[in-house]
Structure 1
Amino acid sequence: MQTPNPTAEIVTRRIERLSSHLTPSPPNDDSEIGMLTCAGRAKKLNVSTSMLTEYMRGKHREIQEKIFDYFNSRPDLQTPVEISKDGHRELCMRQLLGLVREAGIRPYKYIVEDPEVYFAIVEAVGSVDISLGIQLGVQYSLWGGTVLNLGTKKHKDKYFDGIDSVEYPGCFAMTELHHGSNVQGLQTVATFDPITDEFIINTPNDGALKWWIGNAATHGKFATVFAKLMLLTNNSSQGLSDMGVHAFIVPIRDLKTHATLPGVEIQDCGYKVGLNGVDNGALRFTSVRIPRDNLLNRFGDVTRDGKYTSSLPSIGKRFAATLGELVGGRVGLAYSSVGVLKMAVTIAVRYSLLRQQFGPPKQPEISILDYQSQQHKLMPMLASTYAFHFATLYLVDKYSEMKKSREEQLVADVHELSAGLKAYVTSYTAKSLSICRESCGGHGYAAVNRFGILRNDHDIFQTFEGDNTVLLQQVAGDLLKQYKEKFQGGTLTVTWNYLRQSMDTYLSQPNPVTARWEGEDHLRDPKFQLDAFRYRTSRLLQSVAVRLNKHTKTLGTFGAWNRCLNHLLILAESHIETVILEKFIEAVQRCPDKSTRATLKLVCDLYALNRIWNDIGTYRNVDYVAPNKAKAIHKLAEYLSFQVKNVARELVDAFDFPDHVTRAPIGMKSNAYASYTQYVGF
């Protein structure tokens, strides 16, 4: 009997592995994404705009069209280009009342029953006027949402109908002059008086003034006020005990006369860079007394004799539960930001197809979208818009699931995913709005063509519901927590589960053979694309964990975090890009129509390869991509931009904005120049 040669077996396995790398398996049939060849170099794709629209908008298209049709039938409710602050505020309130009382759109019930419908309403309303979208969000998601999510049955019974009909217009009073993102540091105080069975709300100093409170300056009659709950201790010599931040319903104006109530001082925050249809105000409270029942007591309550009760054992857990219920605001901002990006890209692409400039000698001028430089600006942006659309749809789906199941791990997962997507998408949209304006030259500077209005109104999306830099730090912190649990045998949450494999696989030494592959089938293989994104995130995660451990020894935890802050932000963005690509690929796989699937695959490939090329230095530095492969990625990304350009009209038409919603003359489906000249009086 011959003894096996272990060395020979190792060599044989290595040869087999190299052979498999050199000879990739053939793709599956065209029902699978595989290495689908969806944009043959010989011909333009055949795109069915109607089928693409149906797949994009699906079941909520009807309610959005109802909103569009209502505002089209009411020219008096359409926001003019030139309007004063006070005029815009009054118009916004009339728009909201008309939507609710005349058009019969009642968003409030959907916040709990079907959040997907609610966010579809918010997107459509924001397309009409972003100020109106924010006004609607303040009334229903913020003020109304706190009653539904932080209150109990007695609060819903008392306030639901008034909030739903806008008879009880309200505010969300969390942010203070000195405190925004650090909610636990809020200074407004709510002290319980057991003698009168009331809470006394006080603003102890100017830093505690409630600031930027939407709906406060003009219209609001109630405010959900976030304040530290203070209770008398059993030992009177010890004074008051701080039970942490809680939410209270505080009336601020008389329901009949609209007069400001005693102890409440309201000031107007004045003109803003944008969103002047929203009446932001500042609030000061001086010994304002409210009934004990006005404490939104889902997570903590106070008895008649001043005892505190809660099903949650600590201030930290109560605070986390409270913020977890308010995550819908971030979900809505991410979703709405994609709607703004769709609008801007639609206008820029349509004008770029229309506008002709220069051309070969003695030949007709060509459209500016035929220039590679214009394609470079707009086509990756168009691809990103599609990617963000599917990623935020996934977020809304997970949020809806969370609201139904209340499963603890899903709550945490949605919290981090919403933080990351809100930060990433709103930052990208803000930058893209300026690029779109520039891409349309001088005509992009005309207010009627909307880029300036969209840019100014959207800009605050990067700051409210959490500053983007702070939110990305939350994502990075959660990734590090997952990284630690990986090595302690813990489980990974749904969104981050690729990290389990990445720690074992993606951090291995890059294969010198695959690092050189440059064939189109390989570069357009979703496995290669996802592996590249995951590898980058995994390396960033491992390296920042090592750096933090090193610096903590000399700088302490806070100092180490600050030293590595830029690294942490890049890590969070890399992870979010990975999730976005993953959800885009899944959306392509699910698409039932072959032609539509091929179109989406083309757009998905451009998104992935453009992102890889934008960070090619990272991949080159670790030899994940050889020089020849880097060159091939760049070349293919440019070619895919050209291919997407060929179907750009169909891709933006699939967003399905009627001309009366787009409104920008240069962004009309037809007769753009005629609309533009008529606007100025010719």
Structure 2
Amino acid sequence: MDVPEVPSKVDPGAVTAVLDGRWAELRRAVRAQMSEAEFRDPVALDVEAHRAQVLDQLRALAETDRPGLGFDPAYGGGGDVGGSVVSFELLGYGDLSLMVKAGVQWGLFGGAVQLLGTERHHERHLRDIMNLDLLGCFAMTEHGHGSDVQHLRTTATFVDGGFVVHTPDTMATKEYIGNAARDGRMAVVFAQLVTGSEERGVHAFLVPIRDENGNPMPGVSIEDCGPKAGLNGVDNGRLSFDHVEIPREALLNRFGDVDADGAYSSPIESDSRRFFTMLGTLIRGRVSVGGSAGSATKRALALAIRYGEHRRQFMTPGGDEVVILDYLGHQRKLLPALAKTYALHFAQEELVSKLNDIDSSAPEEEQRELESRAAGLKALNTWHATATIQAAREACGGSGYLSENLLPGLKADTDVFTTFEGDNTVLLQLVAKGLLTSYKHDFEDLSPLATARFFTDQVVNAILERTSVRKALDALTEGSDADVFFSREWQLKLFEDREQHVVEGVVKRLRKAGDDPFGVFNAAQDHVLRAGRVHVERLVLEAFAAAVERCEDPDARTLLERVCDLYALSAIEEDLAWFLGHGRLTASRAKAVTNAVNGLCAELRPHARALVDAFAIPEQFLAAPMLRS
């Protein structure tokens, strides 16, 4: 199959300009700072030395204005939420322990104080949080409850004008809490608020965990989680509380307050709505994790593609050894993954812009849509990182297995990304729930029982009426394979049609809930997860297509057109069984998809180095010995 050609040479800088997008100036500044010597990789450091190095690097970051970007200007912040997230993302080019520790301090701990607290908390703590005079923790996850935050077991009971924070059993121990084992002095503790005999649901409280000398506060037990598979520069710990007394003002009271007499009040009447509104304000961490995973993926691909351009293996009939990136099999390992990395980058950029621009008074539907998009992109970004870093390691053979060549560290550090800041499987269910409920105000419970009942009662007719996309797709399938496959309109309509068909199928299955809604939902869970995934894949393709349209350099635009084609067609190839089984592709056209992917790999092979150079990763983070000539 003839593949549209790409100019023989494209300036990586022109592609970088498209990638850098809205926060280009900030990206350049962060990359310049990261090129300085103190931001170095932790190869061969023991746990304690690694933790000390990361804290030193954190203090170096605190000397700049970037940690304050996301905070209120009234307290010395920059008022630039998007810029704050972008700066966290770029830390993913270096030691990911630094990114995580920075995220805990300024994103989770500081973010919770800012977004869940009120003026009394802001005035007292925000400046100290920004300049690291107050190091803190975000104590949400418990040993027995991770994703199911609504049923945490730690309690905060109103007694004699204050609160008593208590861990009732080992299952309520706060688990895996960053900054807790070594450096944190205060924690935002999520606990069930109890006033009188009434439980008011999960709220957040500021609880001191260490005194000025670093000793645990009375009633606070701190345990080091110890060495992990990766991210050992982060001092994860366990926290438990034995009737710890805190003042009434320690409650972060933006969404719920208790007066001196113990009377509870909230601007949100429904306990369930209040809970999800509170969690919805804290999505910056989830967005940052997805973006940082993307940065780590870019670094792995840059290492593997540079290695593939000079490593030689096996002879041609003419007697020359072949550069391994010239083999189609090697291109297949790396180039579709590179195309997907570009696609996810542009989707992430779009998400960060939406996060930055959304107003706190925006309609609930708009806020829920943002939460859904953040959940879905975090899942796809982190799963892609896990798969691509493994592929990059294999593409570098034994060299890729040596710690000095950086890929093992990336593999270990990113592995947990698929389960922290939201388990990916749970997050895709959240995405599907948003699709199937159309973000209805009266649908607040994520439980399978409530989900199934709501589907049965309200959404079926609205979804089954969608037929226009299929008709438009049918009209675009005429012509040669090349005419169809390289039509952006056809690609977009195909993704949209798949999404609508999958969503309809989920609804039809859940209509059968009857007397066993949980069983029906559980049996359809694979279908629910597919609905979430294909929805996000459609958003990703749309974001890539929009980025291509914004590109002003003609050669760079042509190159990005082909990279976008490779993303779309390789995604179709991955799900070929669905497209064949549901009659969207004929058998002959399905075979042609594979030929088109092979042709695009060959066409893009000469530009592989330019495409990874366009990420503009500081060279010190690509200084692997295997790349020395």
TM-score (ref. length: structure 1): 0.85
In structure 1, C-alpha distance between the alignment counterparts of 2:397 and 2:189, rounded to whole Å: 46
Whole-angstrom distance in 1 between the partners of 2:18 and 2:397: 33
1:544-559 aligned within 5 A: 544-550=506-512, 552-554=513-515, 556-559=516-519
Counting only pairs closer than 5 Å after superposition, residues 51-90 of structure 1 correspond to structure 2 as: 51-58=14-21, 60-75=23-38, 78-90=40-52
Q: Which residue of 1 aligns with 2:385?
A: 429
What amino acid is the match of 2:151?
G
| Other-structure match for 2:143 | 177
Tell me if 1:657 matches 2:617.
Answer: yes
Cα 1:484/1:560, change in 2 over 3 Å: farther
State the distance in 2 between where 1:365 and 1:243 align: 70
Structure 1 residue corresponding to 2:209, chosen from 249, 252, 275: 252
- Name the structure 2 match of 1:50: 13
Q: Report matched runs for 1:202-601 at 5 Å.
A: 202-232=166-196, 240-254=197-211, 256-403=212-359, 406-482=362-438, 503-507=466-470, 511=474, 515=477, 517-550=479-512, 552-554=513-515, 556-601=516-561
SS of the aligned residue for 2:115 comes to helix
Per the alignment, in what secondary structure is the counterpart of residue 506 of structure 1? helix
Per-residue deviation, residues 612-670 of structure 1 (Å, max 9, x unmatched): 1221221222222122222222211110111111211111010001211223233xxxx
Contact 1:108 1:144 in 2 (8 A): no
Distance (Å, rounded) in 1 between the aligned partners of 2:62 and 2:149: 32
Structure 2 residue aligned with 1:191: 157
Supply the distance in 1 between the matched residues of 2:324 and 2:465 (Cα, whole angstroms): 43
**Residue type of the partner of 2:303?**
I
| Kept after mapping to 1: 8 A contact 2:34/2:618 | no
TM-score normalised by length of structure 2: 0.92
- 1:178 CA drift (Å): 0.2
1:502 and 1:127, CA in 2 relative to 1: closer, same or farther beyond 3 A?
farther
Alignment counterpart, residue 165 of structure 2, candidates 195, 198, 201: 201
Q: Which amino acid aligns with 1:545?
A: V
> 1:365 deviation in Å?
1.5
Which position in structure 2 is the counterpart of 1:490?
none
Segment drifting more, 206-215 vs 52-61: 52-61
SS of alignment partner, residue 178 of structure 1: coil
Go from structure 1 to structure 2 and tell me whether the alpha carbon gap of 1:411 and 1:111 turns closer, same or farther (over 3 Å shift): farther
Contact residue 111 and residue 141 of structure 1 kept, 8 A: no
1:62 to 1:508, Cα distance in 2 relative to 1, 3 A: closer
Is 1:517–1:629's contact at 8 Å kept on the other side of the alignment?
no
Shift of 1:38: 12
- RMSD of aligned Cα (Å): 2.1
* Distance of 2:148 and 2:362 partners within structure 1: 25
Partner of 1:143: 109
Q: 1:14 maps to what in 2?
A: none
- 1:456-493 per-residue CA deviation (whole Å, 9 max, x = no partner) reads 101111001111111111111111113999xxxxxxxx
Q: Determine the C-alpha separation between the residues in 2 that align with 1:632 and 1:127.
A: 37
Is this contact kept in 2: 1:264–1:286, CA < 8 A? yes
Instruction: Judge conservation of contact 1:184–1:245 (CA < 8 Å) in 2.
Output: yes
For 1:267, what is the secondary structure of its paired residue? strand
Counterpart-to-counterpart distance in 2, 1:71 and 1:589: 31
* Aligned ranges 1:14-29 → 2 under 5 Å: none
For 1:669, the equivalent position in structure 2 comes to none
Give the whole-Å Cα distance in 2 for the aligned partners of 1:547 and 1:525.
33
Corresponding residue to 2:594 among 634, 638, 648: 634
Q: Tell me, yes or no, if the aligned pair for 2:369 and 2:434 is still in contact at 8 Å.
A: no
**Alignment partners' CA distance in 1, 2:440 and 2:420:** 31
Change (3 A) 1:563 1:501: closer
Q: Determine helix, strand or coil for the equivalent of 1:272.
A: coil
- 2:473–2:497 contact (8 Å) kept in structure 1: no
Cα deviation code 1:391-415 (max 9, x no counterpart): 0001101111124654322211111
Amino acid at match of 2:488: P
Contact residue 293 and residue 417 of structure 2 kept, 8 A: yes
Partner of 2:130: 164
Shift of 1:148: 0.5
Mapped to 2, the partners of 1:294 and 1:362 lie a distance apart of 76
SS at match of 2:466: helix
Instruction: Kindly state the Cα deviation for residue 507 of structure 1 after the two structures are TM-superposed.
Output: 4.7
Match of 1:553, SS?
coil
Tell whether the 8 Å contact from 1:169 to 1:219 is kept in structure 2 after alignment: yes
| Comparing 589-598 and 180-189, the one that deviates more | 589-598
Within 2, Cα distance between the matches of 1:461 and 1:226? Answer: 22
**Deviations 1:338-361 (Å, cap 9, x if unpaired)?**
111111111111111111112322
| Secondary structure of the structure 1 residue equivalent to 2:358 | helix
What CA deviation, in whole Å up to 9, does each residue of 1:140-186 have, x standing for no partner? 01000001100011110000111011110000000000000001110
Contact in 2 for aligned 1:516/1:628 (Cα 8 Å): no
Superposition map of 1:603-682 within 5 A: 603-666=563-626, 672-674=627-629
- More off after superposition, 82-91 vs 115-124: 115-124
Inter-CA distance 322–309: structure 2 relative to 1 (3 Å threshold): same
CA displacement at 1:510 relative to structure 2: 7.5
- CA gap of 1:48–1:438, structure 2 versus 1, over 3 A, is same
Q: CA deviation at 1:220?
A: 0.2
Number of corresponding residues: 603
Identity percentage over the alignment? Answer: 39
* 8 Å CA contact 1:221, 1:252 repeated in 2: yes
SS in 1 for 2:286: helix
- Give per-residue Cα distances to partners, 1:121-142, cap 9 Å, x unaligned: 1122222210000000000010
Structure 2 CA distance for partners of 1:72 and 1:593, relative to 1, 3 Å: closer
Change (3 A) 1:159 1:483: closer
Q: CA, structure 1 residues 483+533, in 2 after alignment: closer, same or farther (shift >3 Å)?
A: farther
SS at match of 2:315: coil
- Aligned with 1:91 (options 29, 53, 56): 53
Distance in 2 (alpha carbons) for counterparts of 1:318 and 1:46: 55
Shift of the 314–514 alpha-carbon distance from structure 1 to 2, 3 Å rule, reads: closer
- Checking the alignment, whether the CA contact within 8 Å between 2:472 and 2:493 is kept in structure 1 is no
Q: Is the contact between residue 153 and residue 172 of structure 2 (CA under 8 Å) also seen in structure 1?
A: yes
Q: What is the alpha-carbon distance in structure 1 between the residues aligned to residue 12 and residue 177 of structure 2? A: 42
Report which stretch shifted further, 473-482 or 128-137: 473-482
- Segment of structure 1 superposing worse, 626-635 or 363-372: 626-635
| Structure of greater Rg | 1
Q: Aligned with 2:514: secondary structure?
A: helix
Partner secondary structure for residue 275 of structure 1: coil
Mapped to 1, the partners of 2:186 and 2:562 lie a distance apart of 50
Unaligned runs of 5+ in 1: 1-36, 233-239, 486-498, 667-671, 675-682
1:111 positional shift: 4.5
Q: Distance in 2 between matches of 1:645 and 1:483?
A: 44
Quick one: which amino acid aligns to residue 183 of structure 1? V
C-alpha spacing 1:319/1:228, structure 2 compared with 1 (3 Å): same
Tell me: CA distance 1:160–1:294, structure 2 relative to 1, closer, same or farther (3 Å).
same
Give the aligned partner of residue 129 of structure 1.
Answer: 95
**Residue type of the partner of 1:154?**
R
